[in-house]
Structure 1
Amino acid sequence: MDLPHDIAGSGPTLILVHGVVHRRQAWNALLDQLTPYRRVVTVDLPGHGESAALEDGPDMMDQLLEELSGFVRSVTPPGERPHVAGNSLGGWLSLALAARGEVASATALSPAGFFVNHADQARTIYTFRVLRGIARALGPNAPKALRYKAVRYPSLAAFFARPSRVPYEDAVIDAHSLTTNALVDKGMTASFDLPPVVDATVPVTVAWGRRDLILPVYQARRVRRFFPQARILVLPGIGHVPMTDDPNLISTILLGGSSAGSRDSPD
């Protein structure tokens, strides 16, 4: 599958992977801080943004991981092992690539997949479905309704600690994505089992917003069961999509996370 993407900047390659119902433009607020130091690649995951949807298959997460793995190889210069970072679903995918030893480092922002039990996973999917129900109820009136802060800010509060920082145009696009995204329907049965860790020396950074209402910060305690080498950061006053809440802080975390582990590819 050909995944739409953008490349900007110079330096070590850093591939940024968005979360469910989001798109590659989620990283735009960070580009000015990152591109002087990194060759930044932003990509639309299958079924998001401008990318085509996945074909129906038995294992959605495995399909996503294989598509992203192939994309990473295709955009990385020969002889280089890239860095990868992601938010939510993109965080899980980034960690899965690190577990497989395919990247120089991984930075995950409130990554999916560290549910304490099935009820915890169900709560997250239920939250998405409630928000989708609201977006669908607004229907063609959504663009008009979202112009009002009294509607827009509460609608975004589950994802952002600072919804006032979300541009109106982005809120409209994301609301539409929420109504149509197929992964919301499949999330209840999705398997977030990580691949066996083949290289525990790959540097891993996990940053979690203390005000995350989608994937609560208590899930961060489970990270070191899989990645004992992980550096864990808890971010006060930050929500589920931290790139919007505090672009400067997240840029600093991504630059730090992608400063470790640089090495040439053995291929």
Structure 2
Amino acid sequence: MSAQISFTIESPHGSRTASIAYRRTGAGEPLLLLHGIGHHRQAWDPVLPALAAERDVIAVDLPGFGESPSLPESVRYDLTTMGATLGALCEALGVERPHVAGNSLGGLLALELGREKLARSVTALSPAGFWTETERRFAFATLLAMRHGARALPLPVIERLAGTAAGRAALTSTIYARPGRRSPEAVVAETLALRDATGFEQTLAAGRSVLFTDDVPDVPVTVAWGSRDRLLLRRQGIRAKHIIPAARLVRLPGCGHVPMNDDPALVARVILDTSR
């Protein structure tokens, strides 16, 4: 079951009200899950049962994605604002310094929460922000192509493609190493999430100048990278390790950019190990 919560955030133009959709399940120490750009909270469904067995799991739709409305007008999607928004969300939910796991954009936001001492631990799966300019341009061009493709396809065509392994590969092989494992229903839902994301362009625009260059001291950090990540190449994990020397750098064999579907057991174990 999903829920939505509204809370106050500060902006250059004064206080504004933001709303975020989320699903909360399980028991234990709190664990906040953050998806990537163009995705939605259901990206975490393959690992949710294992995580919820040990943690109070809160999977959110970031502003302008999934079921969450966009940020209020005049509020930017930059890293500082998004970090503060997620901090305000946790306060509204009565959660103090959760463990945080994020993928891609969500991994970058998880590291930002760690840097601001708003997280107990951070697991960043293929986090954004450790690219060269050439690598960033490639990733953004790929994401834009995926977005344009999703918006160009009528729903019946998306459903027909998702009904076959070859079609699911055509729709999602950029982010999954094993797209055939994704259910047809999930592929349809995430293609529509990419198509309908109201925060996509503003988030992408804010990311053009993003580089994560600060250490995250005094917080357990794991940076994990899929060996078959085609969007953000795994050499970026080496750069992350240089910037965050105490981080544990983990290879995810056979996994793509969104590894939760490719190897749920491994990803869940990495997150839980970090949060312990």
The two structures have a TM-score, normalised by structure 1, of 0.88
Separation (CA, whole Å) in 2 of partners of 1:46 and 1:195: 24
Separation (CA, whole Å) in 2 of partners of 1:42 and 1:5: 6
Match of 2:86 in 1: 68
Separation (CA, whole Å) in 2 of partners of 1:208 and 1:165: 19
Change (3 A) 1:151 1:2: same
**Which residue identity does 2:195 align to in structure 1?**
T
Match of 2:173 in 1: 157
Q: In structure 2, which of residues 137, 149, 166 is the aligned counterpart of residue 134 of structure 1? A: 149
- The CA deviation at 1:134 is 2.4
Separation (CA, whole Å) in 2 of partners of 1:103 and 1:89: 16
Structure 2 residue runs without a partner (length 5+):
1-17
Match of 1:112 in 2: 128
Extract structure 1 runs of 4+ deviating beyond 6 A.
none
Match of 1:26 in 2: 43
Give CA deviations for 1:23-79 in whole Å, capped at 9, x if unaligned: 1121122122112211111111101111001245474223322211211222244xx
Whether the aligned pair in 1 keeps the contact of 2:98 and 2:119 (CA below 8 Å) is yes
Q: In structure 2, which of residues 216, 219, 227 is the aligned counterpart of residue 210 of structure 1? A: 227
- The CA deviation at 1:138 is 2.1
Aligned pairs (5 A) from 1:168-179: 168-179=184-195
- The CA deviation at 1:189 is 4.9
Separation (CA, whole Å) in 2 of partners of 1:257 and 1:182: 33
Separation (CA, whole Å) in 1 of partners of 2:232 and 2:268: 21
Separation (CA, whole Å) in 2 of partners of 1:49 and 1:70: 19
- The CA deviation at 1:232 is 0.4
Whether the aligned pair in 2 keeps the contact of 1:83 and 1:104 (CA below 8 Å) is yes
Q: In structure 2, which of residues 233, 237, 253 is the aligned counterpart of residue 236 of structure 1? A: 253
Q: In structure 1, which of residues 38, 42, 48 is the aligned counterpart of residue 55 of structure 2? A: 38
1:8 and 2:25 are equivalent in the alignment: yes
RMSD value over aligned CA atoms?
1.9
Change (3 A) 1:60 1:25: same
Aligned sequence identity (%): 37
Separation (CA, whole Å) in 2 of partners of 1:84 and 1:33: 16
Separation (CA, whole Å) in 2 of partners of 1:246 and 1:53: 31
Greater Cα shift, 176-185 or 84-93: 176-185
Whether the aligned pair in 2 keeps the contact of 1:129 and 1:184 (CA below 8 Å) is no
Aligned pairs (5 A) from 1:183-262: 183-186=199-202, 187-190=204-207, 191-194=209-212, 197=215, 200-259=217-276
Q: Higher relative contact order by CA 8 Å / sep ≥ 6: 1 or 2?
A: 1
**Which residue identity does 1:65 align to in structure 2?**
G
Whether the aligned pair in 1 keeps the contact of 2:165 and 2:179 (CA below 8 Å) is no
Separation (CA, whole Å) in 1 of partners of 2:22 and 2:67: 9
Whether the aligned pair in 1 keeps the contact of 2:175 and 2:229 (CA below 8 Å) is yes
The two structures have a TM-score, normalised by structure 2, of 0.86
Separation (CA, whole Å) in 2 of partners of 1:31 and 1:189: 30
1:89 and 2:105 are equivalent in the alignment: yes
Change (3 A) 1:128 1:30: same
Give CA deviations for 1:104-143 in whole Å, capped at 9, x if unaligned: 11000111111122x2111101001122232233223222
Whether the aligned pair in 1 keeps the contact of 2:19 and 2:63 (CA below 8 Å) is no
Separation (CA, whole Å) in 2 of partners of 1:165 and 1:50: 24
**Which residue identity does 1:21 align to in structure 2?**
G
Separation (CA, whole Å) in 2 of partners of 1:48 and 1:91: 16
